[in-house]
């Protein structure tokens, strides 16, 4: 958890306190609207991260429900296990598909990053860091479930 907080802090610090130069004025449209490759990459990355985090949160919530049942003298049912397995199966397939897409895009990412201006790269890193924030949100959710 501490590593996640440190990584998030470092990434946000870099993006917020990056060097300012006498760069030309920022374009009127955001990078995500001007650059199709960046938009596609960020969309797939956001979907991948969200699917993974949602899966972890759902499984943790179900595990807490099962623990509460057992604490109240009830037994976990076959249906409980089947529900967890179904959630895992559906999300895992989607995660695998998105992972393949992002792997292909990451080969091209180096190229489009090199073609970005300094201002565009800074904007790209801000978009990218939003995905990291989702991991932080997931960690907070898991902490809350752990405290139950």
Q: Provide the pLDDT for residue 11.
A: 47
- Contact criterion met (CB below 8 Å) for 140 and 86: no
- Joined tokens for residue 117: 């201006």
Q: Provide the pLDDT for residue 95.
A: 94
Q: Provide the pLDDT for residue 77.
A: 87
- Joined tokens for residue 20: 């300012």
Mean pLDDT, each 10-residue run in order, the chain (148 residues): 48 48 61 88 93 94 90 88 90 94 84 83 88 90 85
90/11 Cα distance (integer angstroms): 31
Q: Provide the pLDDT for residue 27.
A: 62
User: Dihedral sign, CA of 40, 139, 54, 95?
Assistant: positive
CB neighbour list of residue 112: distance below 8 Å, 6 or more residues apart:
35, 37, 38, 41
User: Dihedral sign, CA of 113, 116, 121, 124?
Assistant: negative
Q: Provide the pLDDT for residue 25.
A: 56
Q: Provide the pLDDT for residue 19.
A: 47
Q: Provide the pLDDT for residue 28.
A: 72
């Amino acid at each position: 958890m501490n590593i996640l907080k440190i990584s998030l802090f470092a990434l946000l610090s870099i993006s917020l306190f990056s060097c300012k130069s006498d760069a030309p004025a920022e374009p009127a449209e955001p990078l995500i609207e001007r650059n199709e490759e960046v938009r596609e990459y960020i969309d797939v990355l956001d979907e991948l991260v969200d699917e993974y985090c949602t899966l972890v949160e759902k499984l943790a919530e179900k595990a807490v429900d099962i623990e509460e049942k057992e604490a109240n003298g009830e037994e976990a049912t076959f249906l409980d296990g089947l529900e967890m397995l179904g959630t895992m199966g559906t999300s895992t397939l989607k995660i695998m598909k998105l992972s393949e897409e992002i792997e292909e895009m990451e080969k091209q990412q180096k190229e489009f990053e090199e073609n970005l201006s300094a201002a565009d790269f800074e904007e790209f890193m801000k978009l990218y860091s939003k995905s990291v924030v989702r991991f932080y949100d997931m960690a907070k959710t898991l902490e809350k479930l752990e405290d139950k």
